[in-house]
Amino acid sequence: MSPRKIKITDVAEYAGVSVSTVSLVLGHKGRISESTIKKVNKAIDELGYVRNKAAANLRSNQSNLIGLILRDITDPFYTEITAGISEELEKHGYMLFLAQCGDSPDKLLKCVQSMVQQSVAGIVFSPVRGSTQPIIDMAETHEVPIVCVARASVEFDIDYIGPDNSHASKMATQYLIEQGHRHIAYVGGSSDSLTRAERIGGYCTTLMQFGLPFKNDWVLECGNSQKEAAEAVQHLLNHQPKITAILCHRPATALGAIYGVRRANRSVGKDNYIGQQVALIGFDDVPEAELTQPSLTFVTSPAKEIGQQAGLRLLERMKKNTGSAQRIILSPTLLKRDSA
């Protein structure tokens, strides 16, 4: 037979207090002495009482769930963000309710609507073009605090936490120039990507700052897979043999670029004078970068810290959902390895 389920009346009897006192302690309400709180919590621990959160949420019209909506939960950048948010919120007794929306504004809006219907205490989301203002309006209507985490800036009156893409690209480009490179390409991403636009802006600005040419032929779009990146880089180097360095839009682009360089009968590395090696720098570091031959240099944004900051900001909003929106931009770091 399964053991009998411990009830709130059992806790009250064991602690020698009333059921209402136990209820107040569980709900963190009322003026209860510290000694009584300790007595009740000791009874809870020793009896193994498990609180029915769903019932408590219905009674208080509050939830311990936080909605998190990401474009791609398999993306390492968003995986780290999830870890950071979860780390902060779990300290305060909240759990994540995770959803994925892809690039669909309609799906993102449906995710937000569903989470509002589940009475989540707050929502963190990564935006999809054309959906941010409707989400803000929906959140205001239902008085649900929201925070935006994104790879690219958003021009809305909303709390936003994200990386400095332009500075990351400037840092990478300047580093390559200081290594002696004068023919630097950018590979990866698509023309509708705001993140890519910000990075190319930083790349272009830095080239101009040092009196170097910006050529459209040296900026290539490609898909998200390593295979597509390898093909794009091979094509680029075969048609533009002067290129000695490449900025890679995604981690997969950088990993695929290694194969593309080799297929073009070049090698990856720092030596752009003897042997004409091609230097590679990627964005948003991944563990595999240290295992490749050669290991890959990355400019990386603190994705986990972005998540932590988003969690902290949402907790502030949940306490007091008023005041002006904040923009928290976190600086990148250059991780120098053997590829550049």
| pLDDT exceeds 70 at position 2 | no
The domain segmentation of the chain, as residue ranges, is: 8-51, 65-163+304-331, 165-300
pLDDT bin (cut points 50, 70, 90) of residue 60 is: very low
| Residue ranges in 99-220 assigned as alpha helix (H) | 105-117, 132-142, 165-178, 194-209
Q: How far apart are the C-alpha atoms of 155 and 190, rounded to whole Å?
A: 20
132: Cα within 13 Å, side-chain hemisphere: 16
Q: How far apart are the C-alpha atoms of 282 and 292, rounded to whole Å?
A: 13
Q: How far apart are the C-alpha atoms of 105 and 225, rounded to whole Å?
A: 24
Per-residue pLDDT tens digits for 163-188: 999 999 999 999 999 999 999 999 99
Q: Strands 245-248, 279-283: parallel, antiparallel or unpaired by DSSP? A: parallel
pLDDT bin (cut points 50, 70, 90) of residue 59 is: very low
The confidence score (pLDDT) of residue 251 equals 95
| pLDDT exceeds 90 at position 103 | no
Q: What is the dihedral sign for C-alpha 41, 45, 49, 52?
A: positive
Encode 197-229 in three state secondary structure: HHHHHHHHHHHHHCCCCCCHHHEECECCCHHHH
Q: What percent of the chain has pLDDT over 70?
A: 94
Per-residue pLDDT tens digits for 278-326: 999 999 999 999 999 999 999 999 999 999 999 999 999 988 877 889 9
β-partners of residue 162 are: 329
Closest C-alpha among 73, 74, 66, 69 to residue 149: 69
DSSP result, 3-41? PPPP-HHHHHHHHTS-HHHHHHHHTT-S---HHHHHHHH
Please give the mean pLDDT across all residues of the chain.
90
Cβ-in-10-Å burial (0-12, 13-18, 19+) of 196 comes to: buried
Please give the CATH topology (third level) of the domain spanning 8-51: 434 Repressor (Amino-terminal Domain) (1.10.260)
| pLDDT exceeds 90 at position 4 | no
Within this chain, domains 8-51 and 165-300 share the same CATH topology: no
| pLDDT exceeds 90 at position 244 | yes
Per-residue pLDDT tens digits for 131-152: 889 999 988 888 899 999 988 8
CB contact set of 281 (below 8 Å; sequence gap of 6+)? 172, 175, 176, 245, 246, 247, 248, 254, 296, 297, 298, 299, 339, 340
Q: What is the dihedral sign for C-alpha 72, 73, 77, 82?
A: positive
| pLDDT exceeds 70 at position 106 | yes
Please give the CATH topology (third level) of the domain spanning 165-300: Rossmann fold (3.40.50)
Q: Which two tokens stand for residue 285?
A: 């570091």
- Averaged pLDDT, 247-261: 97
The confidence score (pLDDT) of residue 58 equals 44
**CB-CB contact of 26 with 51 (8 Å):** yes
The confidence score (pLDDT) of residue 53 equals 55
Which of 2-11, 64-73, 152-161 is predicted with the least confidence, judged by mean pLDDT? 2-11
**CB-CB contact of 202 with 219 (8 Å):** no
Q: How far apart are the C-alpha atoms of 297 and 10, rounded to whole Å?
A: 60
Distances (CA, A) of 213 to 25, 99, 184, 207, 209: 68, 43, 9, 6, 10
| pLDDT exceeds 60 at position 98 | yes
Q: How far apart are the C-alpha atoms of 220 and 191, rounded to whole Å?
A: 10
| pLDDT exceeds 90 at position 271 | no
| pLDDT exceeds 80 at position 25 | yes
Q: Please tell me the class of the 65-163+304-331 domain.
A: alpha beta
Q: Which two tokens stand for residue 129?
A: 């073009």
Per-residue pLDDT tens digits for 28-52: 776 788 888 899 989 888 888 776 5
The confidence score (pLDDT) of residue 3 equals 60
CA angle 315, 85, 298 (to 5 degrees): 135
* 157 or 257, greater pLDDT: 257
